[in-house]
Amino acid sequence: MPKITRRNFVNGSLLALGSTLLPSMGQRAMASLDPTYYPPSLTGLRGSHPGSNDAAHSRAWGQRADWGAVQSHDEHFDLVIIGAGLSGLAAARFYQQHHGTDKKILILDNHDDFGGHAKRNEHNIDGQRLIGYGGSQSLVEPLHASPVIQALFEDIGVDLKSLETSFDQGFYKRHNLGAVTYFNADTFGRDTLVKHPFCNYYNYIEGLPGAKVSDAAAVAQTPLSEAGKQQLLRVLNGGLHKLPVPEAEREAYSQTHAYFDYLKNTLGVDDPEVLHMARNSGLDWTSSGTELLTIAQAKRCGALGFAPLPVYDENNPYIYHYPDGNASVARALVKKLIPLVAAADTAEALVTARFDYSQLDLEGNPVRIRLNSTAVNVHHVGDPSSSDLVNVQYVQNGQAHEVSAKNVIMACYNMMIPHIVSDLPSHQAEALGQQMKSPVIYTTVGLRNWRAFKDMGIGMAMCPGNWHQAVLMDFPVSLGDYQYTQSPDDPCVIQMISCPYGETLGQSQAEQYKQARYTMLGRQFSDYEADIRIHLSGLLGAKHFNFDRDVASITVNRWAHGYAVAGPGDSVAVGRQPFGRITVANSDSASAADAIEAMMMGHRAVVELD
């Protein structure tokens, strides 16, 4: 049986308690004007890069419906897909398989790159190109995937076998790198590094050793007050047997009582710093503070005080990773749909290939991908139940355009669909509007060397006091022509992960997401950079690290709408119903923040059109 995975833990779990940019220039214009158009190599604010959500936000928040005169292209497609993420790209390929490769397909996306969350980051470090991932990280338990996905992988050249050997699981042990906790001065009074992770999070990195010191020794090294140290040790030595109920009632009790009540009332924790550690110990298992968890949920995600658990199925380790994460799957799909976009054929060979973006939207190609284009209005011509035409309006560079299609697949964020599909029945619009996405940031930093990590024995640092709660070496994956760093004196990419919870303890998940989104979108790149400077300098120390000397590049991938989080009840199923000539895809419609599920939803959406 597959184990519950990190990103899907949150779904259905939190309800128990009841509570150098290319922003605006049209992609087609850009590609013809500037043959160097190549978004993966951009650094700075990426993910949902500045400008990418402007049209969608003014549609959703400002109810804007008018972008001036609409430029009609007289373009008619068999299928228009909204969203060039894995779900939309896979849907295009499935449509070809069902209806023929001569069918005309247009894929629209508001970003300057395709792939959606499956985002490639390239860092040029003193002339050396290093590849990292800015979002969708690894294929989760792909051996359990349905035959539909297995066949798709074969079709597009994704070879799971090659991924089984490309992840160097011995890397961390060989280099004596482990899981540590960094207590920053700002939150905890003084910068301190302790060789103990104090939670389960590190455990998803295959081959990364855990604590190097005992609980007692680790606690003694923390910068906590004496009372805080005693309390932390009590939490680490705690356990459900301490609950004030007979053994037979423990399980039921832990499913209905709050983790934070257990910490406070059963274990007597009132030290704000220990509670702060506990709150941040779930990271993207919970995507909000652990104060919203029941005791049973906290135990399952290995929050502070619970023993680390195996995260993935022992027969399906978490190693199915391309150097650019699942962006390689997106690239393999695009290559299949638009063969001239790159020279290589397999996903492995494509890892180092430079894509020719000017091929994406060429007249005469059966499949066209139009970037920087936000769909703002999709509606049937005539009665949806008998209509044979759908009009699609999108905004590119502030200008409204219109094309028509026989069918449309909405592979975009589901909660946005009611703002776009203007003739949707109200019960379906309401259901779609209840779907959420949690905010998350994946920052990649290009370092000139990783000597500091080596000297300090850091494979991953939990950072409960920082904006980025985890810092880790990029996964040790060498594939085809791409070689992972072998020497600490060579350049490397590190990953910094932030699940920006709202600051108000106990606020609902939705409120925490909203507050965190405002904060993350309100910050400029210089704010992030200043924060990362202080963070890495504190973590690695002046003896080992000099920010100006060692950091070559920073890419902050902000995902204000990140992991899919299902709405209540049957809202997912109701929301994704076909409507006339329109069907619904995206990982939201599977209620799973998962690449494979996203592609399966693309398949379902195509089948529903048949």
Which residues form the interface with ligand FAD (CB under 6 A)?
7, 56, 82-88, 108-111, 116-118, 135-138, 140, 326, 374-375, 411-413, 416, 420, 440, 442, 559, 562-563, 586-587, 593-595, 598
Cβ contact 498:467 at 8 Å: yes
HSE-CB at 388 with a 13 A cutoff on CA atoms is: 0
Pick between residue 85 and residue 178 the one whose CB is nearest to ligand FAD: 85
Give the nearest distance from C-beta 228 to ligand FAD in angstroms. Answer: 32
Residue 328 φ/ψ, nearest 5 degrees: -65, -35
Pick between residue 117 and residue 120 the one whose CB is nearest to ligand FAD: 117
For residues 455 and 457, what is the distance between their CA atoms, to the nearest angstrom? 6
Give the nearest distance from C-beta 139 to ligand FAD in angstroms. Answer: 6
> What is the CB neighbour count within 10 angstroms for residue 431?
25
Pick between residue 418 and residue 538 the one whose CB is nearest to ligand FAD: 418
Pick between residue 56 and residue 236 the one whose CB is nearest to ligand FAD: 56
Give the nearest distance from C-beta 591 to ligand FAD in angstroms. Answer: 11
Pick between residue 212 and residue 514 the one whose CB is nearest to ligand FAD: 514
Give the nearest distance from C-beta 92 to ligand FAD in angstroms. Answer: 11
Cβ contact 105:96 at 8 Å: yes
Pick between residue 538 and residue 575 the one whose CB is nearest to ligand FAD: 575
Which own/partner pairs from 117-120 qualify as long-range (CB within 8 Å, at least 24 positions apart)? 117/85, 117/86, 117/326, 117/559, 117/562, 118/85, 118/86, 118/325, 118/326, 118/327, 118/329, 118/330, 118/595, 119/46, 119/47, 119/325, 119/327, 119/557, 120/40, 120/324, 120/325, 120/327, 120/328, 120/331
Q: Which residues contact 443 (CB under 8 A, 6 or more apart)?
A: 468, 495, 496, 497, 498, 528, 532, 554, 555, 556, 557
For residues 177 and 174, what is the distance between their CA atoms, to the nearest angstrom? 8
Give the nearest distance from C-beta 370 to ligand FAD in angstroms. Answer: 9
Give the nearest distance from C-beta 404 to ligand FAD in angstroms. Answer: 16
Is residue 251 helix, strand or coil?
helix
Q: 326, 319, 323, 318: which is closest to 485 by C-alpha?
A: 323
Residue ranges of alpha helices (H) inside 491-567 are 509-522, 525-540, 547-550
Give the nearest distance from C-beta 287 to ligand FAD in angstroms. Answer: 10
Pick between residue 135 and residue 459 the one whose CB is nearest to ligand FAD: 135
Pick between residue 7 and residue 234 the one whose CB is nearest to ligand FAD: 7
Give the nearest distance from C-beta 457 to ligand FAD in angstroms. Answer: 26
> What is the CB neighbour count within 10 angstroms for residue 235?
26
* Strand-strand pairing, 399-410 and 390-396: antiparallel
Instruction: Print burial letters for 543-572: b (CB count within 10 Å at least 16), e (below 16).
Output: ebbebeebbbbbbbbbbbbbbbbbbeeebb
Element (H, E) at 31: helix 27-33
Q: 329, 390, 385: which is closest to 115 by C-alpha?
A: 329
Pick between residue 7 and residue 123 the one whose CB is nearest to ligand FAD: 7
Pick between residue 125 and residue 420 the one whose CB is nearest to ligand FAD: 420
Residue type, 561: H
Give the nearest distance from C-beta 70 to ligand FAD in angstroms. Answer: 16
Give the nearest distance from C-beta 66 to ligand FAD in angstroms. Answer: 16
- Residue-level length of the chain: 610
Give the nearest distance from C-beta 537 to ligand FAD in angstroms. Answer: 25
Give the nearest distance from C-beta 590 to ligand FAD in angstroms. Answer: 8
Give the nearest distance from C-beta 136 to ligand FAD in angstroms. Answer: 4
Cβ contact 61:55 at 8 Å: no
Give the nearest distance from C-beta 438 to ligand FAD in angstroms. Answer: 8
For residues 193 and 182, what is the distance between their CA atoms, to the nearest angstrom? 5
Element (H, E) at 460: strand 458-462
Q: Which two tokens stand for residue 240?
A: 């459900």
Pick between residue 116 and residue 323 the one whose CB is nearest to ligand FAD: 116
Tell me the C-alpha to C-alpha distance, in Å, between residue 541 and each of 60, 121, 202, 343, 536: 45, 27, 22, 44, 8
Pick between residue 296 and residue 596 the one whose CB is nearest to ligand FAD: 596
Pick between residue 225 and residue 404 the one whose CB is nearest to ligand FAD: 404
Pick between residue 142 and residue 305 the one whose CB is nearest to ligand FAD: 142
Direct distance between the N- and C-terminal alpha carbons of the chain, in angstroms, rounded to an integer: 33
Q: Which two tokens stand for residue 327?
A: 């962006």
> What is the CB neighbour count within 10 angstroms for residue 19?
15
For residues 67 and 64, what is the distance between their CA atoms, to the nearest angstrom? 8
Pick between residue 295 and residue 332 the one whose CB is nearest to ligand FAD: 332
Pick between residue 85 and residue 223 the one whose CB is nearest to ligand FAD: 85
Give the nearest distance from C-beta 90 to ligand FAD in angstroms. Answer: 8
Give the nearest distance from C-beta 59 to ligand FAD in angstroms. Answer: 8
From the number of C-beta atoms within 10 Å of its C-beta (0-12, 13-18, 19+), residue 528 rates as: buried
Strand-pairing partners, residue 82, are 108, 410
Q: 564, 115, 104, 584: which is closest to 378 by C-alpha?
A: 584
